Chains A and B, each alone.
Chain A
Amino acid sequence: MKAPLHSIRWRVQVWHGLILLAVVVAFCLTAYQLAWNNQLRRIDQELFSAEHLFAESVMHAAHPPGERPAAHDDASRPPPGPPEAIVEQIRTGRIALPRAVVTRFEGTSPGFAYFLMAATDGRVLLRSDNVPLEVARSNPAGFDTGGNEAQTFSHYRQIVRTPGRGFHSVIGRDITPDLDEMRLFAWSLAGCGAAVWVLGLVGGWWLAGRAIQPIARISRTASRIAAGDLDERIGTAGTDSELDQLGRVLDDTFDRLQSLLKLQRQFTADASHELRTPVTVILSESRRILKRERTVAEYQEAIRTCEAAGARMKRLIESLLLLEHQENAGLPAARRDEPCDLVAVIRSAFDQLQPLAVERGIALHPPTGLVTAHGDASALLILVTNLVANAIQHHRGGGHVWVELGLDRNRPFVEVCDDGPGIAAEDLPHLFERFYRADKARSDTGRSGLGLAIAKTIADNHRASLTVKSEPGHGATFRLLLPR
């Protein structure tokens, strides 16, 4: 965890923490809100019943039981309405509230209830002794709660009404215990939330760790491979998880890279091996000749030897480049589909090789058939030239090389046959390998050891097959079978 913010585990953890925090906070707030609303509803019900009791007792006090009919009268002749009458009565004379009511609205112990009736001019008409100062001082008119709603003022909950002109009534109660209770509830809620959050974080950390554990393993393996241990593989747990798939893809990639690298190394080793002999000739010959004064003839001979070695290196390098080009550049489909006159290709291959054939006493026989095919004429010329040159060079001399054209189930083919010594069975599978030589040794004839490898690569580029058949003592037949 060198750079926490760059680590996936940390980033997952941070996001996970933030989201979880938001969820927990939202949940706690909602729970708190619901609980508080519940509490308020309960308080309000209490208040309403207190108000009811209060109003009833005031009415009773204002109209003692005997005057009931008068109260009844009030209903029949509205002005002045009963509230005004009651107010008037309250204003003019003392109203004695029942003992039960008085005890309900007294004391200042937490949760006490109070009442207050005041005229619009602020004059107090009727009040319990325990009305809190801030309630008494406030102008209740501003708080009129109208219908069935109570409201919270400071740490009091009260119902404020203006039942008629001229006065307000305030019924309230101290809600400190409820607030305390809610505060306690809030704290326990916060505590629970925090615990859930921490638990979530720990679980998330563990989960994220588990999830990225394979990544860590993959990265360790990859570093070992990068450090040079090319045989190392990630390996999979056998499940089909995304990381297993990634591991498989990486392993496949490593396999391919390793085989390519192996091929490349082999090639480099082979190439340097092939170059060593001519370099040795040049160095040893030039050092020898420079040791003392020589005759012109000796100098000339040494220089000729060096030149021949240089020419051999040049041929080898050209062959290497040709092979590299054929392997890496491949062949575009358009070139592969070009019509190609195979007879002309074979004729120019013969033109090139005629001097070599004459030197070795070998007769070249052109094809009798006539076939057109599709392919890159210049690449196919290299292929045919290499096959024919191979046949000439492996011949003991004084024989024949035939090239034949034909169709095999509509596929054009080119065959190069010779009546040379043939190829041993154990050499056949390796014949197209680079630098493979059936006679296990270098040679001075100008062969690079790459001719057949180049031919094979060109055939592959044409999606053609290049095969060889041979019986020792009875010559060899190379067959190029082109696609239709």
Chain B
Amino acid sequence: MRLLVIEDDAALRQSLARTFREEDFAVDTAEDGVEGLEKARLGPYDCIVLDVMLPRLDGWQLLARLRPACRTPVLMLTARDAVPDRIRGLDQGADDYLTKPFDPDELVARIRALVRRAAGQVRAVLEFGPVVLDTAARRVTVAGAEAALTAREYSLLEYLALHRGEVVTRTDLYDHLFGEDENSLSNLLDVHVSNLRRKLGHDLIVTRRGHGYSIP
């Protein structure tokens, strides 16, 4: 999953990015509204974390310009907790709203829920025959036994699982699993896919030659 964090406060931006990365999200950051809007329009993000108070272009304006062309879920972060502020945010197209200071775990859980809903899934636990994927605990079991997946393998599986039945192109996978500043040498998709097949069963992920991968 790839996130865009638009936050002007350097310390908070850094802390958020680290928190998300440790939860195996790919994270891009932007430090003002204009940069944020640019990235949000171009980038293949699964969710955008947007601070309200931003230099150059504030969160409201950014949101107004982003919608309706971009359907990426947006979670707004704000230091204002008055009800009218929250209503305004949600009415202008935000998908969720959190007030500073927030619990980082809650933030992460909300983002997962947003991503899940945007992908059309309603439950946090996805099952594919003997393979059970718990997106909340980020754990995969095969016939009850826990499978040891690397973070990258897990993210790949989660993305494919959330888009179950669709053919996910390699570009999509690159876009959504790796942040803009990540080393491309570690992005060897085929290696990760074959590792997943070895650990979870060969039938789980289908290769559509010339198109991409899919979990049927």
Check if A and B associate. yes
Show the binding face of A for B, using Cβ within 8 Å.
273-274, 276-281, 283-285, 287-288, 291, 305, 308-309, 439-444
Task: Assess the B11–A281 pair: CB atoms within 8 A.
Answer: yes
Q: A311 to chain B: closest CB distance in Å?
A: 11
Task: Assess the A273–B19 pair: CB atoms within 8 A.
Answer: no
Residue from B14, B53, B100, B102 with most neighbouring chain A CB atoms (10 Å): B100
Task: Assess the A440–B58 pair: CB atoms within 8 A.
Answer: yes
Name the A residues within 8 Å of B56 (CB-CB): 439
A-contacting residues, B9-59, CB 8 Å: 9-12, 14-16, 18-19, 22, 32, 53-56, 58
Selected A-B contacts with CB under 8 Å, 26 pairs: A273-B79, A276-B79, A276-B101, A277-B12, A277-B79, A277-B100, A280-B12, A280-B100, A280-B102, A281-B9, A283-B101, A283-B104, A287-B19, A287-B104, A288-B19, A291-B22, A308-B11, A309-B11, A439-B55, A440-B58, A441-B55, A442-B8, A443-B8, A444-B9, A444-B10, A444-B11
**Beyond the given A281-B15, A283-B101, A305-B11, could you list 5 further A-B residue pairs with CB under 8 A, ordered by the A residue number?**
A277-B9, A280-B100, A281-B12, A285-B11, A442-B53
Name the B residues within 8 Å of A279 (CB-CB): 100-101
> Is B123's CB within 8 Å of the partner chain A?
no
Cα distance A309–B101 in the bound complex, in angstroms: 13
Name the B residues within 8 Å of A308 (CB-CB): 11
Name the B residues within 8 Å of A278 (CB-CB): 11
Task: Assess the B11–A440 pair: CB atoms within 8 A.
Answer: no
Name the A residues within 8 Å of B58 (CB-CB): 440-441
Show the binding face of B for A, using Cβ within 8 Å.
8-12, 14-16, 18-19, 22, 32, 53-56, 58, 79-80, 99-105
Q: A185 to chain B: closest CB distance in Å?
A: 81
- Residue of B19, B53, B79 near A284 (CB, 8 A) is B19
Task: Assess the B16–A284 pair: CB atoms within 8 A.
Answer: yes
Q: Which residue of B lies closest to A270 (CB)?
A: B79
- Residue of B15, B22, B54 near A440 (CB, 8 A) is B54
Name the B residues within 8 Å of A285 (CB-CB): 11, 15, 18
Given A273-B79, A285-B15, verify A442-B9 contact (CB < 8 Å): yes
Task: Assess the A273–B80 pair: CB atoms within 8 A.
Answer: yes
Name the A residues within 8 Å of B11 (CB-CB): 278, 281, 285, 305, 308-309, 444
Name the A residues within 8 Å of B105 (CB-CB): 287
Cα distance A444–B55 in the bound complex, in angstroms: 12
Q: A265 to chain B: closest CB distance in Å?
A: 12
Cα distance A199–B19 in the bound complex, in angstroms: 86
- Residue of A284, A441, A444 near B15 (CB, 8 A) is A284
Q: Which residue of A lies closest to B18 (CB)?
A: A288
Given A277-B100, A441-B54, verify A284-B12 contact (CB < 8 Å): yes
Task: Assess the B8–A288 pair: CB atoms within 8 A.
Answer: no
Q: B57 to chain A: closest CB distance in Å?
A: 9
Given A283-B101, A440-B53, A444-B9, verify A305-B14 contact (CB < 8 Å): yes
Q: B150 to chain A: closest CB distance in Å?
A: 16
Name the B residues within 8 Å of A291 (CB-CB): 22
Name the B residues within 8 Å of A440 (CB-CB): 53-55, 58
Cα distance A281–B11 in the bound complex, in angstroms: 7
- Residue of A276, A284, A441, A443 near B104 (CB, 8 A) is A284
Residue from A276, A279, A280 with most neighbouring chain B CB atoms (10 Å): A280
Name the B residues within 8 Å of A305 (CB-CB): 11, 14-15
Name the A residues within 8 Å of B54 (CB-CB): 440-441
Cα distance A60–B4 in the bound complex, in angstroms: 147
Q: A152 to chain B: closest CB distance in Å?
A: 93
Q: Which residue of A lies closest to B7 (CB)?
A: A277
Cα distance A208–B21 in the bound complex, in angstroms: 78
Cα distance A478–B54 in the bound complex, in angstroms: 26
- Residue of B8, B22, B32, B101 near A280 (CB, 8 A) is B101
Name the A residues within 8 Å of B32 (CB-CB): 441
Q: Which residue of A lies closest to B58 (CB)?
A: A440
- The 10 A-B residue pairs whose C-beta atoms are closest, nearest first, are A280-B101, A276-B79, A441-B55, A276-B100, A280-B100, A285-B15, A273-B79, A279-B101, A281-B11, A284-B104
Residue from A273, A274, A287, A442 with most neighbouring chain B CB atoms (10 Å): A442
Cα distance A278–B11 in the bound complex, in angstroms: 8
- Residue of B16, B53, B102 near A441 (CB, 8 A) is B53
Q: B65 to chain A: closest CB distance in Å?
A: 16
Q: A29 to chain B: closest CB distance in Å?
A: 75
Q: A21 to chain B: closest CB distance in Å?
A: 63
Q: Which residue of B lies closest to A309 (CB)?
A: B11
Q: Which residue of B lies closest to A438 (CB)?
A: B55
Residue from B12, B22, B102 with most neighbouring chain A CB atoms (10 Å): B12
Q: B5 to chain A: closest CB distance in Å?
A: 12
Q: B139 to chain A: closest CB distance in Å?
A: 16
Name the A residues within 8 Å of B16 (CB-CB): 284
Task: Assess the A288–B15 pair: CB atoms within 8 A.
Answer: yes
Q: A245 to chain B: closest CB distance in Å?
A: 39
Cα distance A439–B102 in the bound complex, in angstroms: 25
Q: A270 to chain B: closest CB distance in Å?
A: 10
Name the A residues within 8 Å of B9 (CB-CB): 277, 281, 442, 444
Residue from B15, B16, B19, B53 with most neighbouring chain A CB atoms (10 Å): B15
Cα distance A425–B86 in the bound complex, in angstroms: 30
Residue from B11, B14, B22, B32 with most neighbouring chain A CB atoms (10 Å): B11
Q: Which residue of A lies closest to B53 (CB)?
A: A441
